[in-house]
Amino acid sequence: MSIDDDIDALGDELERVGVARPRPPGDLGALEKIDRTVQPLGLPIEVRRVWERIDPSTLRVNAWMELNDPGFALEMWHMHRDSPPVVPDVLFPVCSASWNYYLVELQSAGHEGGALFEWGYAGADFVPRLRGIADWIGVTTVALREGAFTRYGDQITLDSERFEELVTQRFAQTGPHPDYASVEVIPDGNRRRWPAHWRKAKSKGEPPPKLPKLTVRDVLAARPDTPVHATVRCFAGAVAASGHGSRLLLRDESGWMDAWCPSTLPKYTAIGLGNFCNLDIVAPPGPDIIAAAARGHGIEAPRYGASTSVSSRAWNDTVLQAPPLAAVEAIRILRRK
């Protein structure tokens, strides 16, 4: 059977139990972004085909290890490799359940990829689980056929224990991917014991945009009338944070400004106290509310190169309540002066 046959069989089984077939995504922009970001590595053909035909938000099946949205998968890939780098570039999170993942091996030089490895946070090893994504679809289809699920309206929740049993049975029937015929587990924390091609396979990443390099003073001078899209070389540190991101204080020799940094950015967790970096920012036109409020409270601008901690309660309250002056789009950590 081809991967299209497997997808059709899953749709047929969903219809048989009274649930709509999954629909294809409205556009393939997320897949194109994955291609640009992971190159010269690449998505296995079957994984790409699954995401071309199935929008995960329309797949009405909750399984242990659910199919990830490709955009979310790319965010997780960045996080796993950048902060800190605990997963090799060549493993991509195609499915997940809570803190656990099925990582698919990407295509690399001399290797077709496609094998699924189970891995989780807190030092879990990489364990071969399925030969490919087609087996994940097949296991899901069999669980539906057996009635190993509970229905909640138009949503199906598979029995997790039975799903795991079926995964084990499928792996025993198909055998491991040929690259891992004699592999039972690959240690997470010991890179020297990773397969050689894992260590060699590196993504070049999507090339950063070529933006004008401006100082903080340049940004502040231009911004009242014009939107600014630029790279700022500065010290950056978080002064307020949430699960969605951090409010940063950016300082260089010309002055200081604040910016919002979403937690989904690669290298987000590398932003700490006094990190020296290049930040790509976008700043819409408008007044500098925080600077004006700081002057109103008699607060002086933080010194260049000094600690990012700000003791003034009034200033910190201002940061939390006022809209940010700019938003960070990319982070590149530099060696500190």
Mean pLDDT lowest among 32-46, 130-144, 264-278: 264-278
Residue 177 has pLDDT above 60, yes or no: yes
d(CA 17, CA 329): 45
Going by pLDDT thresholds of 50, 70 and 90, the confidence category of residue 306 is very low
Residue 45: the pLDDT is: 95
> Among 167-181, 206-220, 322-336, where is mean pLDDT lowest?
322-336
C-alpha count within 13 angstroms, C-beta hemisphere, residue 160: 6
| pLDDT over threshold 80, residue 292 | no
Domain finish residue from 200, 223, 242? 200
Specify whether 179 is located in the same domain as 259. Answer: no
126 plus 222 within the same structural domain: no
My answer on whether 289 and 166 are in the same domain is: no
**φ and ψ of 82, to 5 deg:** -105, -25
pLDDT of residue 309: 45
Count of domains forming the chain? 2
pLDDT confidence of residue 307: 45
Q: Is the residue at 208 inside a domain? A: no
Average pLDDT score, the chain: 84
| pLDDT band for position 154 (cuts 50, 70, 90) | confident
164 inside domain: yes
DSSP assignment letter at 329: E
Which residues is 42 bridged to in the sheet?
A: 107
The whole domain housing 304 covers 213-333
Same domain? For 92 and 224 the reply is: no
Q: Is the pLDDT of residue 316 over 80?
A: no
**247 and 175 share one domain:** no
One domain for residues 41 and 160: yes
Same domain, 246 and 104: no
Asked whether residue 231 is assigned to any structural domain, the reply reads yes
Same domain, 158 and 48: yes
Residue 85 pLDDT grade (very low, low, confident, very high; cuts 50, 70, 90) = low
Task: Looking at the structure, tell me whether residues 37 and 105 fall in a common domain.
Answer: yes
Model pLDDT for residues 204-232, shown as the tens digit of each residue: 776 667 889 999 999 988 877 778 899 99
Residue 205 lies in a domain: no
In a domain, 207, yes or no: no
User: For the stretch 275-303, what's the b/e string if a residue is b when 16 or more beta carbons lie within 10 angstroms of its beta carbon?
Assistant: bebbbbbebeeeebebbebbeeeebeebe
Is the domain of 42 the same as that of 130? yes
Q: Is residue 72 part of a domain?
A: yes
CB-based contacts of 113-119 (< 8 A; 24+ apart in sequence): 113/42, 113/44, 114/44, 114/46, 114/47, 114/177, 115/176, 115/177, 115/179, 115/180, 117/91, 117/186, 118/65, 119/87, 119/91, 119/188
Tell whether the model's pLDDT for residue 315 goes beyond 80: no
Q: Tell me, yes or no, whether 184 and 231 share the same domain.
A: no
CATH number at 258 reads 2.40.50
